[in-house]
Amino acid sequence: MLTAELPFLALLLAHLAVAIFVPPFLFGIIAKVKALVAGRKGPPLIQSYRNIAKLLKKQIVLSMTTTWAFLAGPIALVVTGLGISMVIPMGGTESPFGFSGDMIFVAYLLGMSRFMSVLASLDTGNSFEGLGAARDATWSALAEPALFLGMGAIAFFSGHTSLGPAFFAVGSTWGNASGPFILVLAGWSIVFLVENSRIPFDDPAGHLELAMVHEVMLLDHSGPLRAFAIYGASLKLLVTGTLLVRICLPIKSVWWLDWPAYFGGLALLALFIGLLESVLARMRLIRVPQLLVAAILACTFGFLLLFLEPK
């Protein structure tokens, strides 16, 4: 049982377990951190599990103008999230379904989830949802080149286009190319905050629809749909978080060391988000594209640095 690598079945089960059970817990940590910083006791860590369970049992209230697109939105969120989690290497050295070129698959799955959520929000015919959809889609579209240039840098450094081996190469030779990867990390953290509509870009706890971005898109969802939407959002948080965590974690290619390190990284990330949200306020909308351009530039320079120095 102490072999260095998990067998495939164990790896698959581990990934499924993490993908299904860990994400709501991250929301719990963030909420708890924000409450503690504000001096409140805050909701219990497992509060979002309870929310999702309750919502799954409720009925769905649909508006007359909606069509199948409204139902497909949240489902696409969940499906793409799970798809990405199958492809991204979490604890171990590689992912259960990794294949060469799965970086591209990840990017386009994100695109698919964005496409379906926009359709879902436009379907209700409510102008707020259109507003939210337009903003969310535009910003994450602007963020995508940054994400991809980062992936290009990793692929260039490792020589593999599959995420598993790429992150393994990055982790195992942890020390020697830290400069470029810090730039990529900076770029990716901005992308992470945009994709999950965290505080500098959107206020998840806000209640003024005109200011919302992500929350307003879930306005009309009820019952299981809302459960899927919340779970999908948290899954997306986990998945993009894994990208951030894996780029900084060294890999010892021993499973009982790597997986705890990975969980610790995730917890740390959630803590960091909580702190960020309780300290910063939401940024003005017109300055968001400038920050995104900064993210793209960071990743580009990371890539160039890697490319110019002899391997």
Beta carbon of residue 116, minimum distance to another protein (angstroms, whole number): 9
Beta carbon of residue 271, minimum distance to another protein (angstroms, whole number): 31
Query: Cα torsion at 302, 303, 308, 310 (round to 10°)?
Result: 90
Toward another protein, which CB reaches closer, 149 or 184? 149
Toward another protein, which CB reaches closer, 128 or 272? 128
Please give the angle made by the CA atoms of 36, 272 and 249, to the nearest 5 degrees.
140
Toward another protein, which CB reaches closer, 169 or 266? 169
Toward another protein, which CB reaches closer, 38 or 308? 308
Interacting residues of 88 by C-beta distance below 8 A, sequence separation 6+: 95, 106, 163, 239, 242, 243, 246
Beta carbon of residue 78, minimum distance to another protein (angstroms, whole number): 6
Structural contact between residues 168 and 251, judged by C-beta atoms closer than 8 angstroms = yes
Other residues' Cβ atoms within 10 Å of the Cβ of residue 47:
15
> How far are the Cα atoms of 36, 137, 149, 261, 310 from residue 143, in angstroms, in the given order?
32, 10, 10, 28, 29
Please give the angle made by the CA atoms of 293, 163 and 170, to the nearest 5 degrees.
80
Toward another protein, which CB reaches closer, 118 or 184? 118
- CA separation for the pair 245, 88 (Å, rounded): 12
Beta carbon of residue 103, minimum distance to another protein (angstroms, whole number): 8
DSSP per-residue letters across 64-95: TT--HHHHHHHHHHHHHHHHHHHHS--SSSS-
Toward another protein, which CB reaches closer, 90 or 225? 225
Interacting residues of 236 by C-beta distance below 8 A, sequence separation 6+: 77, 81, 113, 195, 196
> How far are the Cα atoms of 20, 92, 294 from residue 16, in angstroms, in the given order?
6, 13, 35
Beta carbon of residue 255, minimum distance to another protein (angstroms, whole number): 23
Structural contact between residues 283 and 291, judged by C-beta atoms closer than 8 angstroms = yes
Toward another protein, which CB reaches closer, 264 or 289? 289
- CA separation for the pair 248, 1 (Å, rounded): 27
Toward another protein, which CB reaches closer, 138 or 189? 138
Beta carbon of residue 35, minimum distance to another protein (angstroms, whole number): 29
Beta carbon of residue 279, minimum distance to another protein (angstroms, whole number): 27
Beta carbon of residue 93, minimum distance to another protein (angstroms, whole number): 18
- CA separation for the pair 311, 297 (Å, rounded): 22
